């Protein structure tokens, strides 16, 4: 494919768990700052937890369809929880 040279699948597989941990920490910080509602936090953390539990499947099937691990996680979360949350950061900024 034309854009394959931009993909970093091996590195993305290596950083997947760290990326999820950073996302979880970010969600907690946004909740502590009052930016996210409790139900939004639950939904995002549940979706991230699901990704962790099915990491092998996610990395094999979803990751190759995206530019990198960050966009793969983002697209999966948007698909799972939607763009309707009022989060002013990261996954819900495109609403």
In the prediction, which pLDDT does 69 show? 87
Domains and their CATH numbers in the chain: 7-83 (1.10.275.10)
The three-class DSSP label of residue 70 is helix
Could you tell me which residue, 67 or 77, shows the higher pLDDT? 77
Could you tell me which residue, 88 or 93, shows the higher pLDDT? 88
Angstrom distance (rounded) from CA 69 to CA 13: 7
Angstrom distance (rounded) from CA 85 to CA 20: 19
- The DSSP call for residue 34 is T
């Amino acid at each position: 494919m034309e854009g394959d040279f931009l993909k970093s699948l091996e590195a993305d597989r290596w950083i997947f768990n760290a990326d999820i941990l950073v996302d979880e920490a970010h969600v907690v910080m946004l909740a502590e700052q009052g930016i996210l509602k409790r139900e939004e936090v639950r939904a995002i953390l549940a979706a991230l937890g699901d990704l962790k539990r099915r990491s092998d499947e996610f990395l094999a099937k979803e990751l190759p369809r995206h530019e990198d691990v960050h966009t793969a996680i983002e697209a999966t979360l948007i698909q799972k929880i939607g763009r309707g949350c009022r989060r002013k950061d990261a996954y819900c900024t495109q609403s």
